[in-house]
Structure 1
Amino acid sequence: MTTEYTLPAERVTRVAELLADRVRQYDAAHDRRAAFAYTYHRLTTTLATGLDTGSPVFDDPPWVAELCETLASAYFSAMDSIDAWLAGRPDGSTDEVQPRDLPDSIPPPWRDVFAASSVRRSYLLEDVLFSMMAHMSYDLPEALRRMATSTDDRSHIADFHRMNDVLASCIDRVQDDLASRYIRGISSLDRLFTRSDELLTNYGIRVARGLAWFNCDRLLDPDAAEEASRSIGRSTAALISEIRSPGDRKLRAGLWILRRLIPDRRHWPAPGTPLV
């Protein structure tokens, strides 16, 4: 009896298809999680194309596919836990919440992200930026740690770096398509409210993923694991605080005023709109 082998590109394509299902689900419900799901879908599709075409050439394509699947499973698990919690709220209420209002079944960074996106003046780029932070600073090192205990002893850092190249190379194009899909008017205005979107750039993707590799090593070191776990658990909240409530009092007051003067301008694609 033989076990059917699935090509790595097909495995990653399947992840992209599952992400596409989430985009359609969130679009239909006008759920603010749609923008990051769309971004994640596009990045995963790009990785699947790279595996399919052999550009770049990975040393261990099955490992690349496994990392994609392991990482996505963490995201799906967190979103499913949020959905279960939402289903239990009175009348499906989507009022503003605090991280402490969400259950422990949701990882702390994702509680921080969901709470931040629930406020009335949450801008689309913030929703994507905060979600990207949770996924890269928390989910990714945890996924790498899990794989390090279950795979062979070979170093996969070269393939990890090649993945960084593939994902980083398309982020500018994905941002443009994201704006076309979800933002009315001049999309660059959203950057005013984050003051910076370095994480959503070619360089930012590389740095964030490189830091995740480093934090995985810390998680695997018994002497460093406890502090590493605390650190990755609070990184997203720190970013949200830096953007929403900067230390400079004048800047904080100015942003407070601007948030009340300039609307979100978010819109939702018509049903059946292609994901590109």
Structure 2
Amino acid sequence: MRKLKTIEDVLAELDEIIKISEEKNDPLGYFAVLYRRVTWKVKEGISLNQFDDGVRMEQLDIIFAKRYLDAYYNRSSGNISQSWEKAFALSRNYWPVILQHLLIGINAHINLDLGIAAAQVSRQRQMLHLEHDFNRINAILASLVEEVQQNMSSIWPPLKRILLKTGEYDNLLVDFSMRIARDGAWRFANTLAATPEKGWKECIAIRESRGGKIWFN
């Protein structure tokens, strides 16, 4: 993996993962495609001055992405977070629908990695200054919901019928990947930022130990 200095470097790495996934018919590529769209929108937002601090937002994006990329490239080493280890294992052990692949990746990346990245880029004295931009990331994710769902439905038509039947076609991904994940990640970021750095390892371990409950905390 190349050294990440800019968002362009992140996009190039995601392009490589997508290319490899297409060649190998690897379902891990579903999350990489979604993540690339989000990253590109963040890049666009920075260029249009949509964030309070564009420089800080690029740093956050790079730190955030590096955690996913490190996990992806080291997934066979056994030296990755429990959340990503579970996500990668599920992709190998059975063939979930596309929506499940995305939610598995979101669980690992947003609920754990986003909080860590936010705490790293903005220590406790600056966390309140970050909140506005942090929430803007959620707005970017929300703006992609309809596009992602429509694309998934075209690939797997039963998904559209299922979502329409449950009455949650427009809101399913919003509820999971945006509101619940965002709020949990923000609380975790504040907890971590308020913790002395020597205690971060333990704090992160506690977060991971929640396992499946991480969605709602």
TM-score by length of 2: 0.78
Structure 1 residue 62 corresponds to structure 2 residue 55: yes
Is the alpha carbon distance of 1:149 and 1:158 closer, same or farther for their aligned partners in structure 2, counting shifts above 3 Å? closer
Identity of aligned residues (%): 24
Is the alpha carbon distance of 1:236 and 1:40 closer, same or farther for their aligned partners in structure 2, counting shifts above 3 Å? farther
Q: Is the 8 A contact 2:111 2:214 kept in 1?
A: no
Structure 2 runs not aligned, ≥5 long: none
Higher normalized helix content (fraction of residues): 2
Structure 1 residue 74 corresponds to structure 2 residue 67: yes
Match for residue 80 of structure 2?
Answer: 106
Whichever of the two has the greater Rg, that structure is: 1
In 2: Cα distance, 1:27 partner to 1:72 partner: 20
Q: Is the 8 A contact 1:168 1:206 kept in 2?
A: no
Please give the root-mean-square deviation of Cα atoms over the aligned residues, in Å.
3.3
Q: Is the 8 A contact 1:141 1:215 kept in 2?
A: yes
Structure 1 residue 218 corresponds to structure 2 residue 188: no
Structure 1 residue 34 corresponds to structure 2 residue 29: yes
Is the alpha carbon distance of 1:70 and 1:125 closer, same or farther for their aligned partners in structure 2, counting shifts above 3 Å? same
1:82-141 CA-to-partner distances (Å, cap 9, x unmatched) read 1xx2xxxxxxxxxxxxxxxx71x1110011111222223422211110111100011111
Q: Is the 8 A contact 1:39 1:174 kept in 2?
A: yes
Is the alpha carbon distance of 1:191 and 1:25 closer, same or farther for their aligned partners in structure 2, counting shifts above 3 Å? farther
Match for residue 45 of structure 1?
Answer: 40
In 2: Cα distance, 1:151 partner to 1:63 partner: 15
Is the alpha carbon distance of 1:174 and 1:14 closer, same or farther for their aligned partners in structure 2, counting shifts above 3 Å? farther
In 2: Cα distance, 1:117 partner to 1:229 partner: 24
TM-score by length of 1: 0.63
In 2: Cα distance, 1:206 partner to 1:132 partner: 12
Is the alpha carbon distance of 1:139 and 1:228 closer, same or farther for their aligned partners in structure 2, counting shifts above 3 Å? same
Structure 1 runs not aligned, ≥5 long: 1-9, 86-101, 241-276
In 1: Cα distance, 2:195 partner to 2:214 partner: 27
Match for residue 270 of structure 1?
Answer: none
